[in-house]
Amino acid sequence: MVQVELIKASTVYLVLLMLLGCGNQASDQHNLDQQQSDQQHEVQFPYDYTINEDKDVIDLHGRVSNYMKLDDFIEGRTNTQRVVRYTIEGDPIYYQVTQRNDRIELRYDTTKDKFGSPNVTVYTCDTLQKDETDTALTYTLTGCDGEPMEINILTISRKL
């Protein structure tokens, strides 16, 4: 009887060891797959992440520079414009709008956000609208395919 219990306990112990080993192997494979995916992502989407203080619209926690460049885009004087908005932690989020035929393509890139999920999402929208009020200046993409239908790319608060 003791021998049967010992065999059962040994069997349970071996099964647990095998499960733990498989779990670690699966975790290691997941990490390897993620690294390869990240490398492929960079190759699939070559993108210049260098921030150009003269060309980019930059929103650093409410201090906005070059926002007039979005007006140039709306008026058709340029066919592409990038907005770089910084997270609270200081990581850049990229919003690049490009005129494509009669629509606007938005490339929303969070790959440099260390505390978020690294993604590049592309939306196609009808227009980039500028809305001025006493309290804010807002640039919003409207008529976007899928969800969300409207995407705010920049809001500048005005102090009263």
- Its domain, for residue 113, covers 57-157
Question: What pLDDT is recorded for position 1?
Answer: 52
Instruction: Using the Cα atoms of residue 158, residue 113, residue 99 and residue 144 in order, give the sign of their dihedral.
Output: negative
pLDDT, tens only, 22-38: 444 444 444 434 443 34
Residues 110 and 34 in one domain: no
Confidence at residue 44, expressed as pLDDT on a 0 to 100 scale: 46
What is the C-alpha to C-alpha distance for residues 99 and 97, in angstroms, rounded to an integer?
7
Per-residue buried b or exposed e for 35-63, using 16+ beta carbons within 10 Å of the residue's own CB: eeeeeeeeeeeeeeeeeeeeebbbbeeee
62 plus 140 within the same structural domain: yes
How much is the mean pLDDT over the chain?
80
The verdict on residue 52 lying in a domain is: no
In this structure, the answer to whether residues 69 and 23 fall within a common structural domain is: no
- Say if 50 falls within a structural domain: no
Q: Are residues 40 and 62 in the same domain?
A: no
Question: What would the two tokens of residue 63 be?
Answer: 């201090």
In this structure, the answer to whether residues 76 and 120 fall within a common structural domain is: yes
Query: Per the domain annotation, does 136 fall within a domain?
Result: yes
C-alpha 127/C-alpha 103 separation (Å) is 7
Confidence (pLDDT) at 147: 83
pLDDT tens per residue across span 59-75? 999 999 999 999 999 99
Residue 47 has pLDDT above 50, yes or no: yes
Q: Which of 92, 140, 160, 95 is nearest to 122 (CA)?
A: 95
Residue 84 in this model has a pLDDT that exceeds 60 = yes
When divided into structural domains, the chain yields a total of 2
65 and 128, same domain (yes or no): yes
137 is a domain residue: yes
> What's residue 32's pLDDT?
36
Do 14 and 61 fall within a single domain? no
